[in-house]
Structure 1
């Protein structure tokens, strides 16, 4: 379900001021931001809603203290991008038209954006090779994402610098295998039981004027002591807890990391290799008319919020070969539990399959068949709220305050009333969706029992619906429970903005990457952002997230909550094709919403939930072949699935960019032109040896690296190239 905000009205005068405090540490502090709003007409109340308060329309009230009609509030916000709107009288959503940037709100309007951070540090002059290093921009701390343990034998460490400020960065470290000994012993050449080393750090992400370097150190236990060495021109400095110094720090001046206290954040390896497919069960395929719901409509009819077409599990089973040919290795199913609606987000019983899908035995048969085809099964976990018909809520309806389940929900008074406004907490006020009381241990225990039941039947993971509505305490318990059943289970949350709070290793493996979707559509489809802004928005999440999470993010372009991809691009395939190429080559797991691969059209819900088009004469077969080819290429390339990413070119005038993915000796270069005119691409390849030959994965044309540069090649408008170092497999017939 979408929790994007819904309205956009005109505003006369809005002022926003960002006040940065320059004390250190940079990443731990917050920044005061003053929001000021003058509504177009008088209002009784104004609240600020945004990503910082889960879009609550009551949590952050503004004040007009002097009665001059200007409402104000000052918030302390962490570094990064924050989306917001003003809410007048609890119902009217207002976009700040004076904001520095905007994002699509998912309902045809725009959210305002404020970006906060160490902006003063960006004013200092810097240039790689000039011998000057902006030491005030250097930052490291012993917390995620600056330190990360992806497995039991390695530790990843990051350092922040100004962008284009240093030429080389390395990390000096000493590992004391007896962790009670301090760093002084570790850096001592004569120390017993210690391992010393020095390792180059590579650029990992560049965002907001800063570059984040990263290195992975082999270390399984003990006390890790380390410091950083930066070189630029003839200048060399060391960075340690004491700060930046031109002289080597003393033996006792190093960052300390006790590995015994650093938990492992391990995400499922299989997700890195996966290509996901989202199935809305009621609309994918009707394989058994015998279980059709009442008044089912003819397949291919116009979808509404309330009609049914008879999609079921047998329809999925009948089309597994189609999914195999497409290259799908995992499916996220929208809710399958018993519920009265077509979308099933209003659960009546978590322990029962909706009968219109075929029942429990048919579910088991489907899971078995999918697993036999190498396809994982992810279920939609709707645990924030139930449906009005849920058995526990119906017990309250019948018995009132005498029901033993009265504390399972937030009931204000009795008897239960649905209108004019429910007298119980409901998701966004919808009376059909009463909100569970997750503070109640009995409720939490019940939900975890539900999870156990379905995982023991072979479910491979959970996509969690509106998880930001539930406290982090439950998701920590949820992760421990799920991973205790199956350490390889995938946990992905529906978060529409930055998901850092859920990606600390104690809650989710990943989030649905709506930040990715918004950036891709703004750059390719809407053309509302420059190439450099596009890169910056994507790099911001890579800078904020642990790598373990970044590599398994669910990268989507469309879903049941958004307009379809073809519709978002207004049918312009010249714009759409390079966007799909980018989705299939970017770090993370790509996901295809059923029917997008054949060019299905549809506006937002309910238009995006039409029945799958199985008539090949009505499918975009050219688009389908593109998807098949790109998926085949991704599955054949270890670099595209697991490789580190480095931007090689970002050019605003031509709206073009290029990046590389590298892993274990394999390098892939992806170049895209999204502009209206072609471009000649000339790329520096510092990390690739001269004589290396890159082969176009689609045309077979060879390009050689000479003098540290990849041979010049041309890109036409809306064209993309994928170049692989070595001989690629035979791939699709069409050049994207």
Structure 2
């Protein structure tokens, strides 16, 4: 099933830097490969709950060899999102390297949450072969990724930092978050944190059956953590003793939003929704220095620091919890330094999408609440495929900004009973997710080989690969095959699945119509009451002046579908169809025996036959 356009994972790496970078800069429909960095190269298969590095192993920067990176690139990848790079709180002793120990009472898991950053000016020491040289090792990985023709994205977590944030690596003149705060005030514009004045922090009461480190003894595990006065917790809790379900391991950053919700910074006029990043930058440069909250400047300095290291873009965690004006400030500064920087934000409130794109100058937002949730419901038999067209119409004006995915580190693995039951049940959804719009596609590592995330790692819950503990990722490890990345230990089903993903995702670059126009064909079939077209089928078209595609998917796990797909006359006219046209299925790279028929009434139609879970991406070989 592999297309001729997909390069073999057995070829020697092609790392012609100039050609690769030129190719990246011309990409209009990116593919983002998200890798949880500490898990990716780990070959240890012990998977002991709450296991240490010695028990369960950990992946390193050095595991991303040229062979590994070319394997990632073979999936059509243009950008690698290395998750868990900034130094976050974790339970391991690095005091020999000048790093303070972290308290298990305010760390989730043993390996720690990547979203409780402890030092923004260095990287996770777990990931380095030599922790003393950890930053240099990451810089070398950035260079290797570039040499292999891909760009680098890392996380910035703007809403909160680790409870024990302390940078030992900040450049001269950069003070720590909170170092200059007036702790006698609940709020002050230039304070980095909010304070529960007069009260000390208290560790939350554990939920039933939970103990830090699974009950293991530890010198710092005593139900205590000194913080006086207490700070507001990352999710906004104002209690000195937050609930165990709060983000108690983090503290909330103050962006000049007063406790009553009023803003203590210059308002960005709505007309800036139509202005460039350069114009946004000029607006902020014109403001009085004292009107810009200190936290804004700190994060702008952090972003610039990583840009100078060669990072090409950022993924922002929980961006909607931070005011949109800050994003205008930060992103306009980033775009001034690197106009091509890739900026992705986690935003779940559709009412905020356009503000964060137009006023906040985000390139891309998660398309979870609309497309992801819809596709998941269809796979689970809870919704009709007709809802796809409805949801896509909601974002038609911003479709190129809505990043599509079926897995990421926060979501359940596809290959679980709680999601799709098995990996192949999601293939129709993956085809639609990849081809529906001009937006980027995100692929989470292990998704392409059907990783089920079934391990009980400790703090993390099965159905999601743990982001809190040291663990192996079995299906990915089989593909990795001890660094050969050739699927030498993979099952036949895993190899077939990966080949399908390779073919599909590479079409993002080779099928130019996927960067062109969209027309849904679903409602037309329902209006015409096409026999055999039902709530398990979805059809749409993608096209530009060079290429016309018809894409049809069957979500049914057990039933084949056969019907005559009808094209609206407007589409026939747009495509300048002059007669019957031959069809090539790009997923199989074969020319079909059936043709697109131009009927006597000037309508057009094509006979479709789909096996259970089959999709077709039909290229119309139009002579008109």
Range that drifts further, 600-609 or 672-681: 600-609
Note if 1:713 corresponds to 2:623.
no
1:42-121 counterparts in 2 under 5 A?
Answer: none
Distance 1:393 1:453 in 2: 16
The residue aligned with 1:282 is 38
Distance 2:406 2:332 in 1: 31
Distance 1:442 1:333, change over 3 A: same
Kept in 2, the 8 Å contact 1:278–1:334? The answer is: yes
Partner residue in 1 for 2:520 = 647
Deviations 1:609-668 (A, max 9, x none): 25342223345111111101112333211112x111101234573521211111232111
- Which residue, out of 373, 380, 385, partners 1:518? 373
Equivalences for residues 182-201 of structure 1 within 5 A: none
Task: Give the match for residue 500 of structure 1.
Answer: 354
State the Cα deviation string for residues 240-290 of structure 1 (Å, max 9, x = none).
Answer: xxxxxxxxxxxxxxxxxxxxxxxxxxxx97563321111111111149xxx
1:667 to 2:548 alignment:
yes
TM-superposed CA distance for 1:385, in Å, is 0.7
Matched, 1:531 2:385: yes
Cα RMSD of the aligned pairs, angstroms, is: 3.0
Structure 2 equivalent of residue 167 of structure 1: none
Q: In the TM superposition, what is the alpha-carbon distance from 1:416 to its structure 2 partner?
A: 3.8
Q: Distance in 2 between matches of 1:406 and 1:416?
A: 22
Deviation by residue 1:422-455 (Cα, 9 ceiling, x = unmatched): 8321123433200111127222111100000101
Q: Which has the larger radius of gyration?
A: 1
Q: Following superposition of structure 1 onto structure 2, how do residues 343-362 of structure 1 map, counting pairs within 5 Å?
A: 343-358=113-128, 359-362=134-137
* Counterpart in the other structure of 1:108: none
* 1:562 aligned partner: 411
Q: Is the 8 A contact 1:303 1:609 kept in 2?
A: no
Query: What is the deviation of 1:458?
Result: 1.3
**Partner-residue secondary structure (3-state), 2:64:** helix
1:414–1:395 CA distance, 2 compared to 1 (3 A): farther
- Could you say which residue in structure 1 is the equivalent of 2:155? 380
Using a 3 Å threshold, how does the CA distance of structure 1 residues 574 and 596 change in structure 2: closer, same or farther?
closer
1:584 alignment counterpart:
434
Q: Structure 1: 5+ residue runs without aligned partners?
A: 1-267, 288-297, 728-736
- Give the Cα separation in 1 of the matches to 2:159 and 2:620: 48
Are the counterparts in 2 of residues 418 and 431 from structure 1 also a CA contact under 8 Å? no
Indicate the structure with greater strand content: 1
Q: Cα–Cα, structure 1 residues 644 and 603, in superposed 2: closer, same or farther, change >3 Å?
A: farther
The equivalent position to 1:453 in structure 2, one of 280, 296, 305, is 305
Aligned with 2:592 (options 694, 701, 725): 701
SS in 1 for 2:117: coil
The question of whether the paired residues in 2 share the 8 Å contact of 1:554 and 1:591 is answered with yes
CA contact (8 A) 1:279 1:594 kept: yes
Deviation at 1:724, TM superposition (A): 0.9
Q: Distance in 2 between matches of 1:409 and 1:394?
A: 6
Find the residue that maps to 1:664 and give its secondary structure.
coil
- Distance 1:409-1:394 versus aligned 2 partners, 3 A rule: closer
Distance 1:583 1:302 in 2: 35
Residues 190-589 of structure 1: pairs in structure 2 closer than 5 A: 272-286=28-42, 298-299=44-45, 301=47, 309-317=57-65, 319-341=68-90, 342=111, 343-358=113-128, 359-391=134-166, 392=176, 407-414=191-198, 416-420=200-204, 423-428=230-235, 429-439=246-256, 441-498=293-350, 499-504=353-358, 506-514=360-368, 515-523=370-378, 525-542=379-396, 545-546=397-398, 550-567=399-416, 568-587=418-437, 588-589=439-440
Distance 1:681 1:580 in 2: 24
Instruction: Report the Cα distance in structure 1 between the residues aligned to 2:27 and 2:252, rounded to whole angstroms.
Output: 31
Give the Å deviation of 1:395: 5.4
The alpha carbon displacement at 1:502 in A equals 1.0
Q: 1: CA distance between counterparts of 2:509 and 2:503?
A: 10
Paired residues of 2:88 and 2:115 also in contact (CA < 8 A): yes
Q: Secondary structure at the match of 2:164?
A: coil
- 1:680 is matched with which residue? 563
CA distance in 1, matches of 2:592, 2:423: 24
Q: Which has the higher helix share?
A: 2
Q: CA deviation at 1:362?
A: 1.0
1:630 partnered with 2:486: no
Contact kept in structure 1, 2:31 and 2:79, CA below 8 Å: yes
CA contact (8 A) 2:159 2:318 kept: yes
Q: Is the 8 A contact 1:569 1:576 kept in 2?
A: no
Q: Deviations over 1:653-710 (max 9, x none)?
A: 3521211111232111101122334221322152330233321221321523422313
- TM-fit CA distance, 1:352: 0.8
Paired with 2:465 and 2:231, the residues of 1 have a C-alpha distance of: 30
Q: Deviations over 1:367-409 (max 9, x none)?
A: 1111111111111111111101212468589x96599999210
Give the Cα–Cα distance (whole angstroms) in 2 for the partners of residues 540 and 356 of structure 1.
43
Partners of 1:721 and 1:554 in 2: CA distance = 22
Q: Distance in 2 between matches of 1:531 and 1:663?
A: 25
What are the within-5 Å matches in structure 2 for residues 88-167 of structure 1?
Answer: none
Question: Does the CA contact (< 8 Å) of 1:519 and 1:538 recur in 2?
Answer: no
Deviates more, 1:648-657 or 1:714-723: 648-657
Q: 2: CA distance between counterparts of 1:531 and 1:337?
A: 40
Deviation string 1:518-560 (CA, Å, 9 cap, x unpaired) is: 111111x211111222321222122xx43xxx22422110111
CA gap 1:628/1:574 in 2 versus in 1, 3 angstroms:
closer
> For the residues of structure 1 that align with 2:326 and 2:190, how far apart are their CA atoms?
20
- Contact 2:233-2:252 at 8 Å conserved across structures: yes
Contact 2:233 2:251 in 1 (8 A): yes
SS at match of 1:481: helix
Work out the CA distance in 2 between the residues paired with 1:645 and 1:304.
Answer: 48
**Structure possessing the higher relative contact order (Cα contacts under 8 Å, 6 or more residues apart):** 2
Corresponding residue for residue 594 of structure 1: 445
Q: 1:396 to 1:488 in 2, by over 3 A?
A: closer
SS in 2 for 1:564: coil
TM-superposition CA deviations, 1:442-475 (whole Å, max 9, x none): 2211110000010111111111101111111101
- The reply on whether 1:722 has 2:617 as its aligned counterpart is yes
